[in-house]
Amino acid sequence: MTVGRRITVTGTVQGVGFRPWVYRVARELGVGGCVRNDDRGVLIDAFGPEATLATFVALLGTDAPGRVRDIAVIELDAVATGSTTQFTIDTSRAHGAVAVSIPPDLSTCEDCLAEMRDPSDRRYRYPFTNCTYCGPRFTIALDLPYDRPLTTMAGFPLCEDCEREYRDPADRRFHAQPIACPRCGPRVWVEPGGGDLADAAARLVAGQIVGIKGLGGFHLACAATSSAAVTTLRERKRRDEKPFAVMVADLAAARRLAHLDAADEALLAGPERPIVLVPRRADAALAPEVSPDTPLVGLFLPYTPLHHLLLELVDGPLVMTSGNVTDEPIAKDDDDARARLAPLCDALLLHDRPIATRCDDSVARVVAGAPMILRRSRGFVPRAIALSRPVAQPILAVGAHLKNTFCLAHGSSAYLGPHIGDLDNALAFDFFAEAIERMGRLVHVRPELVAHDLHPDYPSTRFAHDLGVERIGVQHHHAHIAAVVAEHALRGPVLGLAWDGVGLGSDGTAWGSELLLVDGARVDRLATLRSIALPGGDAAVDHVWRISLGLLDDAFDGAPPPAVMDRLPGTQIRVLREMIAGGIHAPRVHGMGRLFDGIGALCLGRTRARYEGQIAMTWNHVAAAGDHGVYPFSIDRATTPWQLDHRPLVRAVVADLIGGVSPALISARFHRTLVAAGVALVRAVPGALPIALGGGCFANPLLVEGILGALGDRAVYVPRSVPAGDGGLALGQVWIAAEGASLCV
Ligand code: ZN
Ligand code: ZN
Ligand code: FE
């Protein structure tokens, strides 16, 4: 007997080939009815035997493209509603503008790749091939609804063949807004000279640097096997030592460069195509200048047809680093690239499809067996993060200062924006303001409340002040923990371990190693790290050995053993000591990152950090595997908040150093000590509250894996789909703003 069902599917179900998929499956099963887009998602009226409809609904939940969040089914009277055996796609937009989010950009699908490799196909070797299952989305969308005239494809009228595909409900390209072919779509060229892709590839093979216009911005590319090319790129980009990402043709090529496990491979080949940090093979055919100072290499696979074609032509790994000068945002327009990138390159590979919104590559790593997103941008933005409770009013959170992202929220959805970078730079700030405006339109959020960091001097804080809507200041580490709470949809109080470089505390001092009891908008600071002197302020973060000096003097009451003092540069010590003693331009901070800097610099014999976090990262990478013991530490519970005292640890490190113990063993012990300290702090709090780890230090696998292993009896939540560091902070700010206030007690 024929029965009827009305099925409402919500989630990211538009712009992903959802309706054509429903159409095909309905026809295969013999289900009648129709499918249409609706302002809540996709609406399906289905008619057929009870069992068939059950199968149909089940397949929607398991096999449908996009990301289904919810499937609601109600009964329809099959007779009254006009049961039918035909299935159709209703392309009318019943409710006008569609309030459904635009999907992230999707990497090239297998079907499109097969067409590009087929000499008889009309899209043979066409660099802008795409379909309803793949291609650009977020980076070409100018406004809603997501229809071709409101994308940067508006200037490319469809040819007859493309038009036919676009109109045919049975075609893979039915209503695929960005479709194109060599007759009607975008094209590429090389400047200078007007060459094509093959010309660009030949230049790369010859060791030249080519600026490449991609999906959400530009890359600077060169042969990753050529020391000369990579060195030149470093000089021109003014980037001393920070690792470059490497694009490889496929997983087989990735396996030749790095040791990959199944989780790494799944992440590399996943539709988001992030840069994945993996252990470099000793025999990898890569110039050592690609990633000096680290045993890791950031690999990623091609995610646009143009990348696939280029990698095939070059037949070797390519350095593909963001197309910018260090500290500036990635270039977006051709003229911008001609002005800012051309001086860094030997040639530019351009195309005529404009980029609506910049979106840098995302970065991820497998930690404790599962993916951890370190930079959430292209491929993920603007995918909604589901909140456990709806927000009462539309909210904008502006993030902090470094690695900035912002977050918009309405209803039960939060949308983290693309990676902006450090807001010091005027160009980065313009990008920040422009991206907030564009994202606000695309996800339909007009903020009535803005959340910002407590730091009054951050450009993001000033921007929030200037918006003229209700404002709320959120403490930095509170926001780090709230981001984890929001990501995992936790309810009720949690114990949060927030370890990072720096964030302003509610008492006006620089926090950074906090144990917090977080209950919604309420937060108690239970413990912190004994403060560390930064002689010269931020200059000490560059001249890291100054932090070592402060730690040594503190641990040895001003008289560290000469054998260890010999490891520090002899100059300026007297002046620096006066600064520390008198508290003159020597702020005292609680950042865990500074303990890494100070100990790492001392043991590695480094005096300077070439980029933010370099010493901490190197100190992490040198750690020997296995259990090599723990240094002593103490927790002073007589103070409020409690203090984790680093002096016993520093004294033990010095004894090892003088005793000739290798940095690898010292680093292993150092990490295990911090794991033990974190665990001891958490266990010192009565009860068994769930635990959340937040802040940039928890991108460190040794800390995460150690703490997860030691707290197997407790519920421990780790940042996974949202960055642990300041790139995820805005989500926490949204969550706290929604709770009403940030009350620091
Ligand atoms: Zn495709
Ligand atoms: Zn065409
Ligand atoms: Fe932070």
> What CATH number has the domain bearing residue 75?
3.30.70.100
- Ligand 3 centroid distance, CA of 247 (Å): 30
Would you state the pLDDT for residue 325?
Answer: 81
- Whether 702 and 602 map to the same domain: the answer is yes
- Ligand 1 centroid distance, CA of 132 (Å): 6
Would you state the pLDDT for residue 98?
Answer: 39
Q: Which ligand is nearest to the CA of 109?
A: 1
Would you state the pLDDT for residue 81?
Answer: 67
Would you state the pLDDT for residue 16?
Answer: 79
> What CATH number has the domain bearing residue 245?
3.90.870.40
Q: Which ligand is nearest to the CA of 179?
A: 2
- Whether 585 and 456 map to the same domain: the answer is no
Q: Where are the beta strands (DSSP E) in 426-570?
A: 449-453, 470-474, 494-504, 510-519, 522-529, 532-533
- Whether 464 and 569 map to the same domain: the answer is no
Q: Is residue 104 part of a domain?
A: no
- Whether 706 and 733 map to the same domain: the answer is no
CA atoms within 13 A on the CB side of 119: 0
- Whether 297 and 389 map to the same domain: the answer is no
- Whether 270 and 252 map to the same domain: the answer is yes
| Structure token digits, residue 564 | 């260890």
Q: Is residue 603 part of a domain?
A: yes
Q: Can you give 93-136 as a three-state secondary structure string?
A: CCCCCCCCCCCCCECCCHHHHHHHCCCCCCCCCCCCCCECCEEC
> What CATH number has the domain bearing residue 684?
3.30.420.40
Would you state the pLDDT for residue 94?
Answer: 44
Would you state the pLDDT for residue 17?
Answer: 81
- Whether 638 and 576 map to the same domain: the answer is yes
- Whether 662 and 594 map to the same domain: the answer is yes
Would you state the pLDDT for residue 72?
Answer: 87
- Ligand 3 centroid distance, CA of 264 (Å): 26
Q: How many CB atoms lie within 10 A of CB 478?
A: 31
Long-range pairs of 48-53 with CB within 8 A, sequence gap ≥ 24: 48/2, 48/3, 49/1, 49/2, 49/3, 50/1, 50/3, 53/3, 53/5
| End residue of a domain, out of 41, 65, 89 | 89
- Ligand 2 centroid distance, CA of 166 (Å): 10
- Ligand 1 centroid distance, CA of 419 (Å): 26
- Whether 544 and 669 map to the same domain: the answer is yes
- Ligand 2 centroid distance, CA of 35 (Å): 26
- Ligand 1 centroid distance, CA of 176 (Å): 10
CA atoms within 13 A on the CB side of 482: 27
Q: Is residue 370 part of a domain?
A: no
This prediction's pTM:
0.91
* Residue 636 belongs to domain spanning: 527-717
Q: Which ligand is nearest to the CA of 186?
A: 2
Q: What is the pLDDT of residues 237-255, one digit of tens each?
A: 887 788 999 999 999 999 9
- Ligand 1 centroid distance, CA of 208 (Å): 31
- Ligand 3 centroid distance, CA of 729 (Å): 7
Q: Which ligand is nearest to the CA of 164?
A: 2
> What CATH number has the domain bearing residue 396?
3.30.420.360
- Whether 430 and 311 map to the same domain: the answer is no
Domain count, the chain: 4
- Ligand 3 centroid distance, CA of 397 (Å): 15
- Ligand 1 centroid distance, CA of 165 (Å): 13
- Ligand 3 centroid distance, CA of 132 (Å): 39
Q: Is residue 413 part of a domain?
A: yes
- Ligand 3 centroid distance, CA of 498 (Å): 8
Regions of the chain short of the pLDDT cut 50: 94-99, 742-745
Q: Is residue 100 part of a domain?
A: no
- Ligand 2 centroid distance, CA of 355 (Å): 20
Q: Is residue 148 part of a domain?
A: no
- Ligand 2 centroid distance, CA of 272 (Å): 26
Q: Is residue 241 part of a domain?
A: yes
Residues, CB-to-ion distance under 5 Å, ligand 1? 109, 112, 131, 133-134
Q: Which ligand is nearest to the CA of 130?
A: 1
Would you state the pLDDT for residue 520?
Answer: 86
- Ligand 2 centroid distance, CA of 124 (Å): 13
- Whether 600 and 669 map to the same domain: the answer is yes
Q: Is residue 520 part of a domain?
A: no
Would you state the pLDDT for residue 550?
Answer: 97
Would you state the pLDDT for residue 126?
Answer: 98
- Whether 555 and 461 map to the same domain: the answer is no
- Ligand 1 centroid distance, CA of 129 (Å): 7
| Structure token digits, residue 509 | 């001092």
